[in-house]
Amino acid sequence: MNTKIKFITLFTCIITTQLLAQERRPEGVIRGIVTDAASGQILPGVTVVILDSNPLIGTATDDRGTFRLDHLPIGRYAVQASFTGYEPSVFREIQVSSAKETFLEISLKEQVSELDEVVVRPNINKEEPLNRMATASARMLSVEEASRYAGGFDDPARLVSAFAGVAGGLDNNGIAIRGNSPQFLQWRMEGVEVPNPTHFTDITGVGGGILTTLSSQALGNSDFFTGAFPAEYGNALSGVFDMQLRNGNSQNYEHAAQVGTLGVEAASEGPFRRGGQASYLFNYRYSSMALADDLLPGLLGDAGGMRYQDLSFKLNFPTRRAGTFSVWGIGAIDHFLQSVPKDTAEWINSKFEGMGDFRQTKAVGGVGHRIFINNNTYLKSSLATSYTRNQLVLEQIYTDWSTFRVTDMKGANTNVIFDTYLNKKFSAAHLNRTGINITGLFYDVNYSASRDVNGYPPQAAINFAKNSGHSMMLSAYSQSSIRLAEKVTVNAGIHAMYFALNGRWSVEPRAGVKWQAAPRHSLGAAYGLHSQRENLDYYFVETPQTGDRLVNKNLDFAKAHHLVLSYDWSASENLHLKIEPYYQYLYDVPVEKDELMSLINHRDFYLLIPLVNDGAGKNYGIDFTLERYLHNGYYYLLTASLFESHYRGGDGVWRNTRLNRNFLVNALGGKEWKLGKHKQNILGVNLRCSFQGGDRYIPVDEAASKAAQAVVYDNARAYESQLSPAFISHFTMSFKMHKKALAHEIALKLINVNGYQGFNGYYYDYRNNEPVMSKSAIVMPNFYYRIEF
């Protein structure tokens, strides 16, 4: 705790010193483009104003649909765009900096009919997802929120754990939506499905990682879906994280550099040539947990042995007649070495200690193209590839320093993806999007592991998956958004999917309706059938009993029915309430025959058992969200979820799922103060507190464990037991100093300030001859200095 106080004292001293230096008031710029929400066509002549400015600050878009607002004082603004025949739109929480131009992409929705003498309430960007075909359980999130929100840690995956119905962890950023497994979520980048874009993916739990590979400097606004998502999204059971990389500044060069306890970062963007429209953007990070572990010994736990680096970029090339081309990519290299204390007295077990070496390489990239066929139609296509290579070695080290290898796994996956869709605006009342996706799947897996890596002596490792080859996934969809009247919108579509490896296929209807009952009140209902194939290595499992037969090759897709109701109330221009009851029924879930195991609860990096599609699950509950947008210097977000999550394993018994926490409550808020002679410096303090039901676990049979000298679980009482509710707090403090074309920022970000101890499972204590529940607290600090110019 003394070290934390030193951090905060140093932070305060730096702020005090900087306040003594004053100069002429710095200014910033807001510029952007306005388009038709359905067709994507530019809209000249749109009026764009800064709300609550006196005198009024405003302009109009030019013949290219672009606008520019210069000489704006540093701070936050609400920007409104309005145009005859279109519903006005308001963008809130827009931050203006002296070192970076703020660029907005504003889309306006055309009115279905003339509304004489009727006041149309503006659409608020915070209230709607970017994808207008989503009816419920969807939210747009900005990269600025990931940086500002306490606990976000510049990581979108950790940010969304503050949203209703979403549970996150401390040792990983896995996203558990409404009781579902994190591996049921689909990640997308630039319109195509990509592998989980996090460092150390699956090492602490399948579906999660440690931190994102995406810097807040490169990520654009994105959509997050938690149920009944539109027909264009397939191969997902719980939700979809649809992310975009932003374009670089096409008019001016901007750079940034950062150094902190977690490493260094550099970013640059700008035009390829001045006066042109093409732009570049890149960001590179190198991180080592060693420095943070030295400053705060023991708080990072095993994470102190992690090293990682990542690179992201996007090149944007607009042309006059051939459309717009983009080239993008993300790469990451990770290494985690779990060392063993030299003094055997410090070992958890008196007989052995575990040592691990994990290496992961990940690369995703592609070429995108959008071209307008006519004023109401455009074709958007992507050709992308992804590559992931994993290597995991686990060994038991004994007191005589001999070793026994219990895990040796090597695997590589390469996907080649072609995705294209046609977007057609038939009228102001009807929009259709129809597309196809072809994904080539290339794999090379060689997995060997013991069935009990923590046993003593351990069972010999078996080679349970060894295969190489290729297969293919095909999908197609068509979806329409139809406005039956000015107040009623129907979204409907269908998604089809085929897996060439085993010939399995699925046809999935989706539908939703939204009624704007009053200017500030709306009701909605959405339904969807969703399905998902499993990780490729699951299909290549072999067992000693079956020889070289692939026992899981014919697994069908797991499937889920989603039903969501929604109520939205905009209590004021800055306060919004959303309530969503939901029900999900999962079926054809892979389970172990005659056993309690189900993929719903699976969290290990690998799987080495035969499965059958006999499992089921059900999740039902209600989510509440009350959000006050950042206005007059403060904001808050209050979310609560009450839910039940149950599953049926291969033994036919219904039980609680591992993630059935029963309730989730989040309170998040922050305050900003403008300081300095010209109010150009901004001090921000943000806090998040989470209170959620404790982890569910399988208790041990102590008598049987002592007799076997190993952990023996009482499967008859699986997931009946639950730890005490968890209270977790996060803290962020930042101070940004603006000068002409230059900005300095210092910040302190802490995850798990109160040191909550998470559940790690059981191990057998040979010193005291008893099974012991393992808990640990990971406090993750990042103290950094950043410069933008």
pLDDT value for 2: 53
From residue 65, alpha-carbon distances to 32, 340, 473 in Å are 8, 61, 39
DSSP strand E in 122-229: where? 123-124, 138-141, 166-167, 176-177, 185-189, 192-194, 222-225
Provide the β-strand partners of residue 440: 416, 472
Q: Give the list of residues 6+ apart from residue 740 with CB closer than 8 angstroms, or none.
A: 23, 24, 26, 27, 98
Is residue 489 within 8 Å of residue 430, measured between CB atoms?
Answer: no
DSSP conformation class of 151? T
Tally of CB atoms within 10 A around 352: 24
Pairing of strands 504-518, 488-499: antiparallel
DSSP letter at 305 equals G
Per the CB < 8 A criterion, the answer to whether 433 and 421 are in contact is yes
Rounded CA separation 541/549 (Å):
8
Which of 647, 560, 537 has its CA nearest to residue 601?
Answer: 647
Rounded to the nearest integer, the mean pLDDT of the chain is 90
Q: Tell me: pLDDT of 117 over 80.
A: no
Residue 248 corresponds to which tokens in the numbers above?
A: 């670089």
Does residue 452 contact residue 399 with C-beta atoms inside 8 Å?
Answer: no
Q: CA distances (Å), 172 to each of 65, 209, 218, 260, 730, in order?
A: 43, 5, 22, 21, 15
Query: What residues form DSSP beta bridges with 393?
Result: 357, 408
- Across 147-151, 326-330, 350-354, 575-579, least confident range: 350-354
3-state SS, residue 314: strand
Q: What is the DSSP letter of 232?
A: T
- Residue-wise pLDDT for 122-156, tens only, equals 776 777 899 989 999 999 988 778 788 888 888 88
Residue 186 pLDDT exceeds 60: yes
Q: Which amino acid type is present at position 212? A: T
How far apart (Å, rounded) are the C-alpha atoms in residues 608 and 631? Answer: 53
Tell me how far apart the alpha carbons of residues 618 and 560 are, in angstroms, rounded to a whole number.
9
Buried b (16+ CB within 10 A) or exposed e, 473-505: bebbbbbbbbbeebeebebbbebbbebebeebe
- pLDDT-based confidence at 290, cuts 50/70/90? low
Flag whether pLDDT at 552 surpasses 70. yes
Determine the residue type at 424: K
Spatial CA neighbour of 92 closest among 128, 42, 40, 45: 128
C-alpha to C-alpha distance for 364 and 196, rounded to whole angstroms: 10
Burial of 456 (0-12, 13-18, 19+ CB in 10 A): middle
Kindly state the average pLDDT of the residues 591-618.
93
Residue type, 536: L
Most distant CA pair in the chain, distance: 87
Collapse the DSSP code of 212 into the 3-class scheme (helix H, G, I; strand E, B; otherwise coil) and give the result: strand
- Taking only the tens place, the pLDDT of each residue in 430-454 is 999 999 999 999 999 999 888 777 7
Predicted pLDDT of residue 121: 65
pTM of the model as a whole: 0.92
pLDDT surpassing 50 at residue 426: yes
Interatomic CA distance for residues 2 and 9, integer angstroms: 11
**What would the mean pLDDT of 408-430 be, rounded to a whole number?**
96
pLDDT for 168 beyond 90: no
- Tell me: the pLDDT tens digits for 726-738? 999 999 999 999 9
Q: How many CB atoms lie within 10 A of CB 752?
A: 21
Pairing of strands 185-189, 239-243: parallel
